[in-house]
Copies of this chain bind each other. A is one copy, B any other.
Amino acid sequence: MRQSRLFTKARREAPADEVAKNAQLLVRAGYIHKEMAGVYSYLPLGLRTLNNIVQVIREEMDAIGGQELILTALQDKELWSRTDRWDDEKVDNWFKTSFKSGGETGLAITHEEPLTRIMTAHISSYRDLPVYAYQFQNKFRNELRAKSGIMRGKEFLMKDLYSFSRDEAEHGAFYDRAREAYAKVFARVGIGNRTYVTFASGGIFSDFSEEFQTVSEAGEDTIYVHEQKRVAVNKEVLSDEALGKLGLSRGDLVEKKAIEAGNIFHLGTRFSEALGLLFTDEKGERKPVVMGSYGIGPTRLMGIIVEVLADNKGLVWPEAAAPFKYHLVSLGHGGDEISKIADALYDDMQKAGVEVLYDDRDLRAGEKFAESDLLGLPKRIIVGKEAAASGMFEVVDRASGAVEKVSHANLLSSLQPPASSL
């Protein structure tokens, strides 16, 4: 895409009303727009980034047998009353409103209830199990505070997968596969090395749930990391008893600030019993389905990537998330020789199916480089005097700053089309 056509404009100054680094940089770079506290729109560069993150997660959910669907924001009060999660005294972050046709409704905080009800129409026998269903859907949470940018919104995108299994053994096997799939997601988006499986409070059906916590100074959680085992314990469950169960000793743990990037839960039969999701097993007995839930917030994940990878010059995107892999920056002016070389290279890249943002604007080099740093695309290709004189292009790696001189021929042969497209 030609940058002269992109409607968003980067700003020099950080917005005065943002304290979180992720929101400051994303607003400055024109990726997002703040509508209200905790409510953000995604502008073209932001939506492309978000869609790339969504696609990484989708591929990993499909790989473990997930079937994609999409549920609704508006929720049925009666359904949530049956699981005792409607009353404000039980769940304190509903947005509630009412139908003109009569009756109350609320905006989905999560989706166990509606999906379990749907499954009662499709699951009746052990032959129908297991089922893994997931969605990318907005969740709404009426948070009192919202100072973490897109890491904690009142309206945010969530990938939630729910598993429906015959028994604990079948559930456990999938739960392990889901944990592995999650690790792949975090590795693919560039934060695998600082993200730890973290034991947290479990609920009724297990001692622990598992969170994926990404170490960051911006984190709201405190975790205790066992670096060698690549696991951690959330402060909320840290006790000698818990450490005993987990086979960890206190002396090996290091305290860190961290951000929750995902979680996997054993739900047992809590929802299937309350909502009548039963199946007939091989012996003809009726049993409740054993469930699990598995969440990653793509918008939050985008925020985490910014928090941990951005530097003092701006955003730094891993290839899998970047809105464009290449930033082609022309230093030409008004149709000169340099501009023509850059135009031709852009056409070649377009033909090769490479996703490239082409800064074809007539601005000073310093201004262009500063904005390119802010936008954070992985590779910057500079077309300057040298390109016109000797046919060599400078390619700068945004993350490391490493500079390579590449000939036109070598550049074209090295261009990679996107790994996955939406």
A69 with B47: CB separation less than 8 A: yes
B118 with A33: CB separation less than 8 A: yes
B118 with A41: CB separation less than 8 A: yes
A44 in the interface, Cβ–Cβ < 8 Å? yes
A206 in the interface, Cβ–Cβ < 8 Å? no
A73 in the interface, Cβ–Cβ < 8 Å? yes
B69 with A35: CB separation less than 8 A: no
B68 with A47: CB separation less than 8 A: yes
In the complex, chain B residues whose CB is within 8 Å of the CB of A97 = 95-97, 107
Tell me which residues from 159 to 192 in chain A have a Cβ below 8 Å from any Cβ of chain B. Answer: none
B122 with A74: CB separation less than 8 A: no
In the complex, chain B residues whose CB is within 8 Å of the CB of A37 = 101
In the complex, chain B residues whose CB is within 8 Å of the CB of A142 = 99-100
Chain B minimum-CB-distance residue to A79: B35
Chain B minimum-CB-distance residue to A141: B100
Query: Which of these, B35, B70, B100, contacts A41 with CB under 8 Å?
Result: B70
Query: Which of these, B7, B41, B422, contacts A422 with CB under 8 Å?
Result: B422
Tell me which residues from 26 to 40 in chain A have a Cβ below 8 Å from any Cβ of chain B. Answer: 30, 33, 35-37, 39-40
Q: How far is the CB of A383 from chain B (nearest CB, A)?
A: 23
A42 with B70: CB separation less than 8 A: yes
A193 in the interface, Cβ–Cβ < 8 Å? no
Chain B minimum-CB-distance residue to A123: B7
9 shortest interchain CB distances as A-B pairs: A97-B97, A7-B131, A41-B71, A95-B97, A100-B142, A44-B67, A42-B70, A39-B74, A33-B118
A-B contact pairs, 29 of them (CB 8 A): A7-B67, A7-B119, A7-B123, A7-B128, A7-B131, A9-B121, A9-B122, A9-B128, A35-B72, A35-B76, A36-B76, A36-B105, A37-B101, A41-B118, A44-B67, A46-B69, A47-B69, A47-B70, A72-B155, A73-B140, A74-B154, A74-B155, A95-B105, A96-B97, A97-B97, A100-B143, A101-B143, A101-B146, A138-B138
Q: Given A41-B72, A72-B155, 16 more contacts at CB 8 Å?
A: A5-B65, A6-B67, A7-B119, A7-B128, A8-B122, A33-B118, A35-B74, A36-B74, A39-B74, A40-B72, A42-B69, A44-B68, A47-B68, A73-B140, A95-B105, A99-B154
